[in-house]
Structure 1
Amino acid sequence: MIRKAWMIGRAARSGLPLLALVTLSTAAAPDRFDGPVEGARRVGELRLDGELFHVQGLALERTRIWVTSVDEASRKAYLHAFDRRTGRFLRRLELTDGVRYHPGGISISGRSIWVPVAEYRPRSSAILIEVDADSLKVRRKIPVADHLGFVAASGNTLVAGNWDGRLLYIFDLARNAPPRTIPNPSATRHQDMKFAGGQLVAGGAITPWSGAVDWIDWPSMQVRRTLRAGAIGPIRPIGRGGPYTGEGMAIEGRDLYLVPEDGPSRMFHFRLDAGEDRPA
Protein backbone atom coordinates (compact mmCIF):
# COMPACT_ATOMS: atom_id res chain seq x y z
CA MET A 1 0.00 0.00 0.00
CA ILE A 2 2.70 2.49 -0.98
CA ARG A 3 0.49 5.40 -1.87
CA LYS A 4 0.61 6.74 -5.40
CA ALA A 5 -0.47 10.06 -3.98
CA TRP A 6 2.69 10.14 -1.87
CA MET A 7 5.05 10.45 -4.83
CA ILE A 8 2.66 12.58 -6.90
CA GLY A 9 2.09 15.00 -4.03
CA ARG A 10 5.79 15.41 -3.36
CA ALA A 11 6.43 16.10 -7.04
CA ALA A 12 3.68 18.70 -7.21
CA ARG A 13 4.86 20.51 -4.09
CA SER A 14 8.49 20.58 -5.23
CA GLY A 15 7.69 21.67 -8.78
CA LEU A 16 9.67 18.73 -10.18
CA PRO A 17 8.28 16.42 -12.86
CA LEU A 18 7.32 13.10 -11.33
CA LEU A 19 9.81 11.08 -13.38
CA ALA A 20 12.64 13.42 -12.40
CA LEU A 21 11.71 13.13 -8.75
CA VAL A 22 11.61 9.34 -8.89
CA THR A 23 14.98 9.21 -10.66
CA LEU A 24 16.58 11.64 -8.22
CA SER A 25 15.12 9.91 -5.20
CA THR A 26 16.14 6.40 -6.13
CA ALA A 27 19.64 7.44 -7.16
CA ALA A 28 20.54 9.74 -4.27
CA ALA A 29 18.54 8.60 -1.26
CA PRO A 30 20.92 8.66 1.73
CA ASP A 31 18.98 5.98 3.64
CA ARG A 32 18.56 3.63 0.72
CA PHE A 33 19.25 -0.06 1.43
CA ASP A 34 20.17 -1.92 -1.74
CA GLY A 35 19.83 -5.52 -0.54
CA PRO A 36 16.47 -7.37 -0.47
CA VAL A 37 16.20 -7.89 3.34
CA GLU A 38 18.92 -7.21 5.90
CA GLY A 39 20.06 -10.28 7.84
CA ALA A 40 18.22 -12.70 5.56
CA ARG A 41 19.09 -14.93 2.64
CA ARG A 42 16.74 -15.59 -0.24
CA VAL A 43 15.63 -19.22 -0.38
CA GLY A 44 13.38 -19.09 -3.40
CA GLU A 45 10.30 -17.66 -5.03
CA LEU A 46 6.90 -18.92 -6.17
CA ARG A 47 4.98 -17.36 -9.02
CA LEU A 48 1.30 -16.86 -8.18
CA ASP A 49 -0.60 -18.11 -11.21
CA GLY A 50 -3.78 -16.08 -11.27
CA GLU A 51 -5.23 -12.60 -11.57
CA LEU A 52 -4.06 -10.20 -8.87
CA PHE A 53 -4.37 -6.43 -8.74
CA HIS A 54 -2.60 -4.05 -6.31
CA VAL A 55 -1.44 -6.51 -3.63
CA GLN A 56 -2.08 -5.60 0.01
CA GLY A 57 -1.83 -8.55 2.40
CA LEU A 58 -0.50 -12.11 2.75
CA ALA A 59 -1.34 -15.01 5.05
CA LEU A 60 -0.21 -18.64 4.93
CA GLU A 61 -1.64 -22.01 5.81
CA ARG A 62 -0.05 -25.44 5.32
CA THR A 63 -1.58 -25.91 1.86
CA ARG A 64 -2.85 -22.44 0.90
CA ILE A 65 -1.64 -18.93 0.28
CA TRP A 66 -4.09 -16.08 0.93
CA VAL A 67 -3.57 -12.69 -0.71
CA THR A 68 -5.67 -9.52 -0.69
CA SER A 69 -5.64 -7.09 -3.60
CA VAL A 70 -7.52 -3.97 -4.65
CA ASP A 71 -8.78 -3.47 -8.20
CA GLU A 72 -8.50 0.31 -8.23
CA ALA A 73 -10.08 0.70 -11.69
CA SER A 74 -13.25 -1.19 -10.73
CA ARG A 75 -13.15 -0.20 -7.03
CA LYS A 76 -13.34 -3.78 -5.80
CA ALA A 77 -11.71 -5.63 -2.89
CA TYR A 78 -10.65 -9.25 -3.23
CA LEU A 79 -9.35 -12.12 -1.12
CA HIS A 80 -7.52 -14.68 -3.29
CA ALA A 81 -6.51 -18.28 -2.50
CA PHE A 82 -3.57 -20.08 -4.14
CA ASP A 83 -2.07 -23.53 -3.81
CA ARG A 84 1.01 -23.20 -1.60
CA ARG A 85 3.03 -25.85 -3.42
CA THR A 86 2.37 -24.81 -7.02
CA GLY A 87 1.08 -21.23 -6.81
CA ARG A 88 -2.01 -22.30 -8.77
CA PHE A 89 -5.05 -20.04 -8.35
CA LEU A 90 -7.85 -21.74 -6.39
CA ARG A 91 -10.62 -19.21 -5.75
CA ARG A 92 -11.36 -15.65 -4.75
CA LEU A 93 -13.93 -13.78 -2.68
CA GLU A 94 -15.07 -10.22 -3.31
CA LEU A 95 -15.24 -8.18 -0.10
CA THR A 96 -16.27 -4.78 -1.45
CA ASP A 97 -18.53 -2.92 0.98
CA GLY A 98 -20.00 0.09 -0.78
CA VAL A 99 -17.43 2.92 -0.69
CA ARG A 100 -15.07 0.59 1.17
CA TYR A 101 -13.06 -1.31 -1.43
CA HIS A 102 -9.48 -1.22 -0.09
CA PRO A 103 -8.53 -4.51 1.62
CA GLY A 104 -5.44 -4.46 3.80
CA GLY A 105 -2.93 -6.72 5.50
CA ILE A 106 -4.57 -9.90 6.77
CA SER A 107 -4.15 -12.55 9.47
CA ILE A 108 -5.39 -16.06 10.22
CA SER A 109 -6.40 -17.16 13.70
CA GLY A 110 -7.89 -20.62 14.07
CA ARG A 111 -10.14 -21.09 11.05
CA SER A 112 -10.83 -17.37 10.68
CA ILE A 113 -9.25 -15.00 8.18
CA TRP A 114 -9.43 -11.39 9.32
CA VAL A 115 -9.49 -8.74 6.58
CA PRO A 116 -9.87 -4.95 6.96
CA VAL A 117 -11.74 -3.29 4.09
CA ALA A 118 -11.64 0.51 4.07
CA GLU A 119 -12.32 3.59 2.05
CA TYR A 120 -9.29 4.44 -0.06
CA ARG A 121 -8.39 7.58 1.90
CA PRO A 122 -7.14 8.42 5.39
CA ARG A 123 -9.44 9.32 8.30
CA SER A 124 -12.42 7.58 6.69
CA SER A 125 -14.15 4.31 7.60
CA ALA A 126 -13.52 0.59 7.52
CA ILE A 127 -14.95 -2.78 8.46
CA LEU A 128 -13.05 -5.70 9.94
CA ILE A 129 -14.36 -8.82 8.24
CA GLU A 130 -14.05 -12.32 9.71
CA VAL A 131 -14.10 -14.93 6.93
CA ASP A 132 -14.39 -18.69 7.46
CA ALA A 133 -11.19 -20.14 5.96
CA ASP A 134 -12.96 -23.30 4.77
CA SER A 135 -16.30 -22.08 3.40
CA LEU A 136 -15.30 -18.43 2.69
CA LYS A 137 -18.54 -17.38 4.37
CA VAL A 138 -18.45 -14.06 6.20
CA ARG A 139 -18.87 -14.69 9.93
CA ARG A 140 -19.04 -11.09 11.15
CA LYS A 141 -18.24 -7.48 10.37
CA ILE A 142 -16.94 -4.90 12.82
CA PRO A 143 -17.31 -1.24 11.74
CA VAL A 144 -14.53 1.23 12.58
CA ALA A 145 -14.61 5.01 12.09
CA ASP A 146 -11.15 5.20 10.53
CA HIS A 147 -9.23 3.78 7.59
CA LEU A 148 -7.69 0.43 8.61
CA GLY A 149 -4.79 -0.87 6.53
CA PHE A 150 -3.88 -4.13 8.31
CA VAL A 151 -4.87 -6.44 11.14
CA ALA A 152 -3.01 -8.99 13.29
CA ALA A 153 -5.15 -11.67 14.96
CA SER A 154 -4.52 -14.03 17.88
CA GLY A 155 -7.48 -15.66 19.61
CA ASN A 156 -9.75 -12.89 20.89
CA THR A 157 -7.17 -10.15 20.26
CA LEU A 158 -6.99 -8.02 17.13
CA VAL A 159 -4.41 -5.30 16.51
CA ALA A 160 -5.31 -3.12 13.52
CA GLY A 161 -3.52 -0.09 12.13
CA ASN A 162 -4.88 2.97 10.37
CA TRP A 163 -3.47 4.75 7.29
CA ASP A 164 0.31 4.15 7.30
CA GLY A 165 -0.11 2.47 10.70
CA ARG A 166 0.31 5.64 12.76
CA LEU A 167 -2.42 4.61 15.22
CA LEU A 168 -3.10 1.06 16.44
CA TYR A 169 -6.55 -0.17 17.43
CA ILE A 170 -6.61 -2.97 20.04
CA PHE A 171 -9.75 -5.13 20.05
CA ASP A 172 -10.73 -7.66 22.73
CA LEU A 173 -13.37 -9.80 21.04
CA ALA A 174 -14.34 -11.36 24.37
CA ARG A 175 -15.66 -7.99 25.56
CA ASN A 176 -18.43 -5.90 24.06
CA ALA A 177 -16.40 -2.71 24.27
CA PRO A 178 -14.87 -0.19 21.85
CA PRO A 179 -11.22 -0.76 20.92
CA ARG A 180 -8.51 1.15 22.70
CA THR A 181 -5.97 3.07 20.66
CA ILE A 182 -2.22 3.52 21.05
CA PRO A 183 0.41 5.20 18.85
CA ASN A 184 2.54 2.90 16.73
CA PRO A 185 5.98 2.73 18.42
CA SER A 186 7.72 2.32 15.04
CA ALA A 187 8.29 4.91 12.33
CA THR A 188 7.75 2.26 9.64
CA ARG A 189 4.58 2.71 7.59
CA HIS A 190 3.32 -0.78 8.32
CA GLN A 191 1.25 -2.58 5.70
CA ASP A 192 1.00 -6.11 7.12
CA MET A 193 1.34 -7.35 10.72
CA LYS A 194 1.26 -10.77 12.38
CA PHE A 195 1.39 -12.22 15.88
CA ALA A 196 4.43 -14.51 16.04
CA GLY A 197 6.13 -16.04 19.08
CA GLY A 198 4.66 -13.61 21.60
CA GLN A 199 5.54 -10.61 19.46
CA LEU A 200 4.05 -8.53 16.68
CA VAL A 201 6.04 -8.76 13.45
CA ALA A 202 5.22 -6.05 10.93
CA GLY A 203 6.50 -5.11 7.49
CA GLY A 204 6.10 -1.86 5.65
CA ALA A 205 7.63 1.04 3.78
CA ILE A 206 9.87 3.84 4.99
CA THR A 207 10.28 5.56 1.63
CA PRO A 208 9.13 4.55 -1.87
CA TRP A 209 12.44 2.67 -2.30
CA SER A 210 13.07 1.29 1.19
CA GLY A 211 11.22 -0.61 3.88
CA ALA A 212 11.65 -2.57 7.10
CA VAL A 213 10.47 -5.49 9.19
CA ASP A 214 9.92 -4.70 12.88
CA TRP A 215 9.66 -7.02 15.88
CA ILE A 216 7.50 -5.41 18.58
CA ASP A 217 7.02 -6.94 22.03
CA TRP A 218 3.45 -7.69 23.00
CA PRO A 219 1.85 -6.19 25.01
CA SER A 220 4.58 -3.72 26.04
CA MET A 221 4.78 -2.43 22.42
CA GLN A 222 8.53 -1.88 22.53
CA VAL A 223 10.36 -2.24 19.23
CA ARG A 224 13.03 -4.91 19.74
CA ARG A 225 14.53 -5.35 16.28
CA THR A 226 14.33 -3.75 12.85
CA LEU A 227 15.63 -5.19 9.58
CA ARG A 228 15.97 -2.91 6.58
CA ALA A 229 14.65 -3.88 3.15
CA GLY A 230 15.42 -2.59 -0.32
CA ALA A 231 13.26 -2.24 -3.41
CA ILE A 232 12.34 -4.67 -6.14
CA GLY A 233 11.91 -3.49 -9.72
CA PRO A 234 10.72 -0.03 -10.78
CA ILE A 235 9.01 1.72 -7.91
CA ARG A 236 5.37 2.80 -8.07
CA PRO A 237 3.67 4.60 -9.70
CA ILE A 238 5.96 4.01 -12.69
CA GLY A 239 6.39 0.29 -12.08
CA ARG A 240 4.68 -2.42 -10.07
CA GLY A 241 7.33 -3.03 -7.41
CA GLY A 242 8.58 -1.07 -4.43
CA PRO A 243 10.14 -2.12 -1.12
CA TYR A 244 10.16 -5.88 -0.59
CA THR A 245 8.30 -5.25 2.68
CA GLY A 246 5.94 -2.68 1.20
CA GLU A 247 2.95 -4.98 0.82
CA GLY A 248 2.11 -8.57 1.83
CA MET A 249 4.19 -10.19 4.58
CA ALA A 250 3.97 -13.46 6.53
CA ILE A 251 6.37 -15.17 8.93
CA GLU A 252 6.80 -18.74 10.19
CA GLY A 253 9.64 -19.01 12.69
CA ARG A 254 12.76 -17.91 10.80
CA ASP A 255 11.02 -18.09 7.43
CA LEU A 256 9.89 -14.73 6.06
CA TYR A 257 7.55 -14.53 3.05
CA LEU A 258 6.93 -11.38 1.02
CA VAL A 259 4.69 -10.46 -1.94
CA PRO A 260 5.94 -6.99 -2.96
CA GLU A 261 4.66 -6.84 -6.55
CA ASP A 262 1.30 -6.09 -8.09
CA GLY A 263 -0.05 -8.84 -10.33
CA PRO A 264 1.46 -10.85 -11.89
CA SER A 265 2.99 -11.51 -8.49
CA ARG A 266 5.63 -13.67 -6.86
CA MET A 267 5.95 -14.83 -3.26
CA PHE A 268 9.57 -14.52 -2.11
CA HIS A 269 10.89 -16.81 0.63
CA PHE A 270 13.71 -15.60 2.90
CA ARG A 271 15.47 -17.37 5.79
CA LEU A 272 16.39 -15.06 8.64
CA ASP A 273 19.81 -15.36 10.22
CA ALA A 274 19.88 -17.20 13.54
CA GLY A 275 18.51 -14.97 16.26
CA GLU A 276 16.81 -12.47 13.93
CA ASP A 277 13.36 -13.82 14.77
CA ARG A 278 13.62 -13.06 18.49
CA PRO A 279 14.62 -10.07 20.60
CA ALA A 280 18.29 -9.21 21.01
Structure 2
Amino acid sequence: MAMLHLASSLSVAAAPGSSDAQLEHARLVGALALQGEIFHVQGLALDPDHVWITSVDHAGRRAFLHVFDRASGRYLRRIELTDGARYHPGGLSLSGGSLWVPVAEMRPDSSAVLLEIDAATLTVHRRIAVSDHIGCIAAEGQRLVAGNWDSRMLYEFDLARSDRPVRVVKNPSATHFQDMKFADGQLVAGGNTSWLAGTLDWIDPATMRVTRSLKAGSIGAVRPFGRGGPITGEGMAIEGRELYVLPEDGPSRVFHFRLDA
Protein backbone atom coordinates (compact mmCIF):
# COMPACT_ATOMS: atom_id res chain seq x y z
CA MET A 1 0.00 0.00 0.00
CA ALA A 2 2.76 2.44 0.95
CA MET A 3 4.69 1.60 -2.20
CA LEU A 4 1.68 2.30 -4.43
CA HIS A 5 0.90 5.51 -2.57
CA LEU A 6 4.21 7.17 -3.27
CA ALA A 7 4.66 5.54 -6.65
CA SER A 8 1.47 7.17 -7.89
CA SER A 9 2.35 10.60 -6.47
CA LEU A 10 5.84 10.52 -7.95
CA SER A 11 4.69 9.23 -11.31
CA VAL A 12 2.47 12.24 -11.90
CA ALA A 13 5.06 14.71 -10.60
CA ALA A 14 7.19 16.77 -12.93
CA ALA A 15 9.85 14.80 -14.76
CA PRO A 16 13.39 15.41 -13.56
CA GLY A 17 14.16 17.34 -16.76
CA SER A 18 17.80 17.48 -17.79
CA SER A 19 19.00 15.14 -15.06
CA ASP A 20 21.50 12.54 -16.24
CA ALA A 21 20.13 10.11 -13.65
CA GLN A 22 21.44 6.60 -14.17
CA LEU A 23 21.13 3.48 -12.05
CA GLU A 24 22.08 0.05 -13.30
CA HIS A 25 19.11 -2.31 -13.87
CA ALA A 26 16.59 0.37 -12.93
CA ARG A 27 14.18 2.77 -14.65
CA LEU A 28 13.60 6.36 -13.56
CA VAL A 29 9.86 6.77 -12.95
CA GLY A 30 9.57 10.35 -11.72
CA ALA A 31 10.53 12.89 -9.08
CA LEU A 32 8.73 14.66 -6.26
CA ALA A 33 9.79 18.24 -5.50
CA LEU A 34 10.02 19.04 -1.79
CA GLN A 35 8.63 22.45 -0.87
CA GLY A 36 10.70 23.64 2.05
CA GLU A 37 14.18 24.45 3.32
CA ILE A 38 16.66 21.58 3.55
CA PHE A 39 20.38 21.92 4.22
CA HIS A 40 22.99 19.27 3.27
CA VAL A 41 20.94 16.07 2.93
CA GLN A 42 22.01 13.07 5.02
CA GLY A 43 19.18 10.53 5.05
CA LEU A 44 15.71 9.59 3.80
CA ALA A 45 12.88 7.48 5.23
CA LEU A 46 9.27 6.98 4.15
CA ASP A 47 5.98 5.98 5.71
CA PRO A 48 2.54 5.94 4.00
CA ASP A 49 1.97 9.65 4.63
CA HIS A 50 5.38 11.24 5.22
CA VAL A 51 8.85 11.83 3.81
CA TRP A 52 11.44 12.05 6.60
CA ILE A 53 14.80 13.72 5.90
CA THR A 54 17.87 14.48 7.96
CA SER A 55 20.13 17.38 7.03
CA VAL A 56 23.09 19.24 8.50
CA ASP A 57 23.47 23.02 8.54
CA HIS A 58 27.27 23.27 8.34
CA ALA A 59 27.40 27.03 8.78
CA GLY A 60 25.22 26.97 11.89
CA ARG A 61 26.56 23.62 13.18
CA ARG A 62 23.02 22.30 13.61
CA ALA A 63 21.29 18.99 12.92
CA PHE A 64 17.69 18.72 11.71
CA LEU A 65 14.95 16.19 11.06
CA HIS A 66 12.47 17.43 8.42
CA VAL A 67 8.98 16.09 7.69
CA PHE A 68 7.16 16.50 4.36
CA ASP A 69 3.80 15.34 3.03
CA ARG A 70 4.37 12.21 0.96
CA ALA A 71 1.68 12.92 -1.64
CA SER A 72 2.43 16.58 -2.39
CA GLY A 73 5.94 17.30 -1.11
CA ARG A 74 4.54 20.04 1.13
CA TYR A 75 6.63 20.99 4.17
CA LEU A 76 5.06 19.95 7.49
CA ARG A 77 7.60 20.56 10.26
CA ARG A 78 11.16 20.06 11.45
CA ILE A 79 12.89 19.50 14.77
CA GLU A 80 16.46 20.19 15.79
CA LEU A 81 18.64 17.23 16.81
CA THR A 82 21.86 19.07 17.70
CA ASP A 83 23.54 17.46 20.72
CA GLY A 84 26.35 19.75 21.87
CA ALA A 85 29.39 19.04 19.69
CA ARG A 86 27.34 16.44 17.81
CA TYR A 87 25.57 18.17 14.92
CA HIS A 88 25.94 15.66 12.06
CA PRO A 89 22.73 13.63 11.64
CA GLY A 90 23.14 10.54 9.48
CA GLY A 91 21.12 8.18 7.35
CA LEU A 92 17.98 7.20 9.24
CA SER A 93 15.54 4.28 9.40
CA LEU A 94 11.91 3.76 10.35
CA SER A 95 10.99 0.59 12.24
CA GLY A 96 7.53 0.15 13.69
CA GLY A 97 6.61 3.53 15.12
CA SER A 98 10.21 4.61 15.75
CA LEU A 99 12.66 6.65 13.71
CA TRP A 100 16.30 5.81 14.40
CA VAL A 101 18.71 8.69 13.75
CA PRO A 102 22.45 8.91 14.55
CA VAL A 103 23.84 12.33 15.50
CA ALA A 104 27.63 12.54 15.57
CA GLU A 105 30.57 14.87 15.85
CA MET A 106 31.73 16.14 12.47
CA ARG A 107 34.95 14.12 12.41
CA PRO A 108 35.98 10.46 12.24
CA ASP A 109 36.85 8.42 15.33
CA SER A 110 34.75 10.68 17.54
CA SER A 111 31.38 10.11 19.23
CA ALA A 112 27.70 9.77 18.40
CA VAL A 113 24.32 9.25 19.96
CA LEU A 114 21.69 6.97 18.41
CA LEU A 115 18.25 8.52 18.88
CA GLU A 116 15.01 6.54 18.90
CA ILE A 117 12.30 9.08 18.03
CA ASP A 118 8.56 8.44 18.17
CA ALA A 119 7.37 9.04 14.60
CA ALA A 120 3.96 10.29 15.75
CA THR A 121 5.04 12.77 18.43
CA LEU A 122 8.73 13.32 17.52
CA THR A 123 9.58 12.66 21.15
CA VAL A 124 12.99 11.09 21.85
CA HIS A 125 12.39 7.75 23.61
CA ARG A 126 15.94 6.44 23.85
CA ARG A 127 19.53 7.61 23.49
CA ILE A 128 22.41 5.20 22.93
CA ALA A 129 25.95 6.58 23.19
CA VAL A 130 28.57 5.21 20.77
CA SER A 131 32.31 5.92 20.98
CA ASP A 132 32.68 6.51 17.23
CA HIS A 133 31.25 8.70 14.52
CA ILE A 134 28.07 6.99 13.25
CA GLY A 135 26.86 8.17 9.85
CA CYS A 136 23.98 5.83 9.01
CA ILE A 137 21.72 3.26 10.62
CA ALA A 138 19.33 0.47 9.59
CA ALA A 139 16.67 -0.69 12.04
CA GLU A 140 14.45 -3.76 12.14
CA GLY A 141 12.70 -4.48 15.43
CA GLN A 142 15.38 -4.84 18.09
CA ARG A 143 18.18 -5.12 15.55
CA LEU A 144 20.33 -2.18 14.42
CA VAL A 145 23.22 -2.02 11.98
CA ALA A 146 25.17 1.25 11.92
CA GLY A 147 28.04 2.47 9.78
CA ASN A 148 30.79 4.76 11.03
CA TRP A 149 32.64 7.48 9.06
CA ASP A 150 32.49 6.41 5.39
CA SER A 151 31.02 3.13 6.76
CA ARG A 152 34.48 1.63 7.09
CA MET A 153 33.10 -0.49 9.94
CA LEU A 154 29.57 -1.78 10.59
CA TYR A 155 28.26 -2.02 14.16
CA GLU A 156 25.50 -4.51 14.90
CA PHE A 157 23.22 -4.10 17.94
CA ASP A 158 20.70 -6.49 19.49
CA LEU A 159 18.69 -4.18 21.74
CA ALA A 160 16.91 -7.13 23.36
CA ARG A 161 20.27 -8.00 24.91
CA SER A 162 22.18 -4.76 25.34
CA ASP A 163 22.74 -1.20 24.14
CA ARG A 164 26.30 -2.20 23.29
CA PRO A 165 27.30 -3.59 19.87
CA VAL A 166 27.23 -7.39 19.65
CA ARG A 167 29.42 -7.41 16.54
CA VAL A 168 31.68 -5.02 14.63
CA VAL A 169 32.70 -6.02 11.10
CA LYS A 170 34.58 -4.42 8.25
CA ASN A 171 32.41 -3.03 5.45
CA PRO A 172 32.35 -5.79 2.79
CA SER A 173 32.00 -3.14 0.06
CA ALA A 174 34.36 -0.37 -1.04
CA THR A 175 31.37 2.01 -1.10
CA HIS A 176 31.08 4.76 1.51
CA PHE A 177 27.55 3.99 2.66
CA GLN A 178 25.46 7.05 3.54
CA ASP A 179 22.05 5.46 4.10
CA MET A 180 20.97 1.86 4.72
CA LYS A 181 17.76 -0.05 5.32
CA PHE A 182 16.59 -3.58 6.08
CA ALA A 183 14.46 -4.84 3.19
CA ASP A 184 13.12 -8.35 2.53
CA GLY A 185 15.64 -9.98 4.85
CA GLN A 186 18.61 -8.14 3.37
CA LEU A 187 20.57 -5.07 4.36
CA VAL A 188 20.38 -2.59 1.46
CA ALA A 189 22.93 0.23 1.54
CA GLY A 190 23.69 3.11 -0.81
CA GLY A 191 26.63 5.46 -1.00
CA ASN A 192 29.34 6.99 -3.12
CA THR A 193 32.52 5.61 -4.58
CA SER A 194 33.60 9.00 -6.01
CA TRP A 195 32.19 12.50 -6.65
CA LEU A 196 30.46 11.15 -9.75
CA ALA A 197 29.45 7.58 -8.91
CA GLY A 198 28.20 5.21 -6.27
CA THR A 199 26.56 1.84 -5.74
CA LEU A 200 23.49 0.27 -4.21
CA ASP A 201 24.49 -2.92 -2.39
CA TRP A 202 22.54 -5.84 -0.94
CA ILE A 203 24.26 -7.47 2.04
CA ASP A 204 23.42 -10.76 3.75
CA PRO A 205 22.99 -9.75 7.43
CA ALA A 206 24.15 -13.15 8.68
CA THR A 207 27.45 -13.27 6.80
CA MET A 208 27.85 -9.54 6.06
CA ARG A 209 28.74 -10.38 2.46
CA VAL A 210 27.58 -8.41 -0.58
CA THR A 211 25.06 -10.46 -2.61
CA ARG A 212 24.18 -7.87 -5.28
CA SER A 213 25.57 -4.50 -6.35
CA LEU A 214 24.23 -1.89 -8.80
CA LYS A 215 26.32 0.97 -10.14
CA ALA A 216 24.92 4.50 -10.01
CA GLY A 217 25.72 7.74 -11.81
CA SER A 218 25.08 11.29 -10.65
CA ILE A 219 22.24 13.79 -10.75
CA GLY A 220 22.73 17.42 -11.74
CA ALA A 221 25.75 19.57 -11.05
CA VAL A 222 27.92 17.76 -8.53
CA ARG A 223 28.82 19.34 -5.17
CA PRO A 224 30.62 21.38 -3.97
CA PHE A 225 29.84 23.70 -6.91
CA GLY A 226 26.36 22.36 -7.53
CA ARG A 227 23.78 20.79 -5.24
CA GLY A 228 23.66 17.25 -6.63
CA GLY A 229 25.95 14.24 -6.65
CA PRO A 230 25.90 10.46 -6.96
CA ILE A 231 22.34 9.10 -6.99
CA THR A 232 23.11 6.83 -4.06
CA GLY A 233 25.38 9.33 -2.31
CA GLU A 234 22.93 10.59 0.31
CA GLY A 235 19.32 9.69 1.22
CA MET A 236 17.91 6.31 0.15
CA ALA A 237 14.74 4.32 0.89
CA ILE A 238 13.50 1.08 -0.65
CA GLU A 239 10.15 -0.72 -0.78
CA GLY A 240 10.28 -3.95 -2.77
CA ARG A 241 11.37 -2.97 -6.29
CA GLU A 242 10.66 0.72 -5.66
CA LEU A 243 13.78 2.74 -4.83
CA TYR A 244 13.66 6.36 -3.67
CA VAL A 245 16.77 8.54 -3.48
CA LEU A 246 17.46 12.10 -2.39
CA PRO A 247 20.85 13.05 -3.87
CA GLU A 248 20.37 16.84 -3.92
CA ASP A 249 20.74 19.50 -1.27
CA GLY A 250 17.78 21.86 -0.98
CA PRO A 251 15.76 22.58 -3.03
CA SER A 252 15.53 18.80 -3.21
CA ARG A 253 13.64 16.17 -5.17
CA VAL A 254 12.86 12.58 -4.23
CA PHE A 255 13.73 10.50 -7.31
CA HIS A 256 11.77 7.29 -7.84
CA PHE A 257 13.39 4.32 -9.63
CA ARG A 258 11.85 0.94 -10.36
CA LEU A 259 14.40 -1.86 -10.09
CA ASP A 260 14.47 -4.86 -12.41
CA ALA A 261 13.08 -8.03 -10.89
Residue 19 of structure 1: aligned partner: none
**Pairing partner for 1:94 from 80, 90, 93:** 80
Secondary structure of the structure 2 residue equivalent to 1:207: coil
- Are residues 128 and 177 of structure 1, via their aligned partners in 2, closer, same or farther at CA, if it must alter by over 3 Å? closer
TM-score when scaled to structure 1? 0.85
Match of 2:33 among 29, 40, 47: 47
Secondary structure, counterpart of 1:140 in structure 2: strand
Paired letter, 2:169 = I
Cα distance between partner residues in 2 of 1:149 and 1:121? 10
Q: Distance in 2 between matches of 1:133 and 1:74?
A: 25
Give the 4+ runs in structure 1 shifted more than 6 A: none
Question: Is 1:219 aligned to 2:206, yes or no?
Answer: yes
Question: Match for residue 13 of structure 2?
Answer: none
For structure 1, the 5+ residue unaligned runs are 1-33, 275-280
Q: Number of residue pairs matched?
A: 241
Asked if 1:199 corresponds to 2:174, the answer is: no
Match of 1:185?
172
The question of 1:237 aligning with 2:224 is answered yes
In the alignment, which residue of structure 2 is the partner of 1:73? 59
1:132-158 deviations in Å (ceiling 9; x for gaps): 000000001101010000000000000
Tell me the percent identity. Answer: 66
Q: Which of 160, 166, 170 is matched with 2:152 structurally?
A: 166
Give the 3-state SS of the residue equivalent to 2:172 in structure 1.
Answer: coil
Given the alignment of the two structures, is residue 273 of structure 1 paired with residue 260 of structure 2, yes or no? yes
1:136 aligns with 2:126: no
CA deviation profile, 1:60-95 (whole Å, cap 9, x unmatched): 000100000000110110001100000001111100
- Cα distance in structure 1, aligned partners of 2:230 and 2:162: 38
Match status 1:263 vs 2:250: yes
Partners in 1 of 2:43 and 2:202 — Cα distance? 18
SS at match of 1:200: strand
Is the contact made by 2:26 and 2:258 (CA closer than 8 Å) also made in structure 1? Answer: yes
How far, CA to CA, are the matches of 1:75 and 1:35 in structure 2? 31
Matches within 5 A, 1:109-148: 109-148=95-134
- What TM-score comes out, normalization by structure 2 length? 0.91
Q: What RMSD over aligned residues (CA atoms) do the two structures have, in Å?
A: 0.9
In structure 2, the gaps of 5 or more residues are 1-19
For the residue of structure 2 that corresponds to 1:142, the secondary structure is strand
- Equivalent residue of 2:150, what SS? helix
Distance across 1 between alignment mates of 2:56 and 2:164: 28
1:108 lines up with 2:94 in the alignment: yes
Give yes or no for contact 2:187–2:203 (8 Å, CA) kept in 1: yes
Give the superposition deviation at 1:176.
Answer: 2.5
